[in-house]
Amino acid sequence: MTVLVTGGAGYIGSHMVLELIDAGEQVIVLDDLSTGFRWSVPPAATLVIGDAGDQALVSRLIDEHGIDSILHFAAKIVVPESVADPLAYYLNNVVKSRALIETAVAKGIKSFIFSSTATVYGNAGASLLSEDLPVAPINPYGRTKVMTEWMLEDTCKAHGLRYAVLRYFNVAGADPKGRSGQSTPRATHLIKVAAQVALGRQLYFEVLGTDYDTPDGTCVRDYVQVNDLAHAHLVALRHLREGGESIVLNCGYGHGASVLDVIKVVKEVSGVDFEVRISPRRGGDPARLVAKVDRIRGLGWQPKYDNLADIVAQALRWERFLADRKAA
């Protein structure tokens, strides 16, 4: 059978495509290329340019390729942008997800994997965030993800569509084989931005707030390497294919690093003592987001890249690759 990956030309989606191909799966990528890159889709996958909310197109792809599973990555993901333009986020992340889920039900899809976020927990305050905590998002981006989670839960009850929701913590790094990475020029991922500053692509690194209730006053996040994250999806897909029940899974390592911790590691790995400026905190940022990961590990997920210095080194290598590619 074949897997459909929506948003498979983007950062996380492209790593998922590589993971599936490495596992021997047939892969169809559906991406509108609004933020993804045609060149990030490997030749072994089939790229279809289009919208995940286009029900006629998705139905045709399912019929033509014998698709039995959908992995849904197509979404807008920038928190400040969601605050400034919430309706665009509800359209892209909720309305189009609803259309995709409806098509999945109509076409008898067996397994649906949804890309969610730890942002759904809001300011939960717990030292480790469990999947059983109440969701309480504090920004439109997080709300759009919760709404899609709820749609999947209700659809499962009504129609039997089995799903896995993966709540990501802070995704970072790049494929160690150099096949993919975070390629969006203005991406807001902290490690990517710090790597760009270290390599002279930006003038300074801006720390947004040092008055949080954390050991050094800056936000603490659980940084999960992108290939490890992709493998977590494969583990979840196998769980569903083997008859497992629908499930919600945190994707992180269970320990965090502060913004200042990350800056220190980037400076050490790059050998560059770049400028850091302190600014007031922005709205919508929880002080601490660290995963409780017993559930995903209980499915047999074993991360390979749980080392912040290695993750930073991958990010730096990818930024150099992008610069060389642009110059070529």
Task: Show which residues are catalytic.
Answer: 141
Q: Is the dihedral of CA 168, 169, 172, 178 positive or negative?
A: negative
Q: How many helices (H) and strands (E) does the chain have?
A: 11, 14
Strands 223-225 and 170-172: parallel
Report the interhelical angle of 190-198 vs 308-327 (nearest 10°).
60
Q: What is the DSSP string of 263-307?
A: HHHHHHHHT----EEEEPPPTT--SEE-B--HHHHHTT---S---
Q: Are the beta carbons of 204 and 276 closer than 8 angstroms?
A: yes
Q: Name residue 258's beta-bridge partners.
A: 220
Strands 162-168 and 247-251: parallel
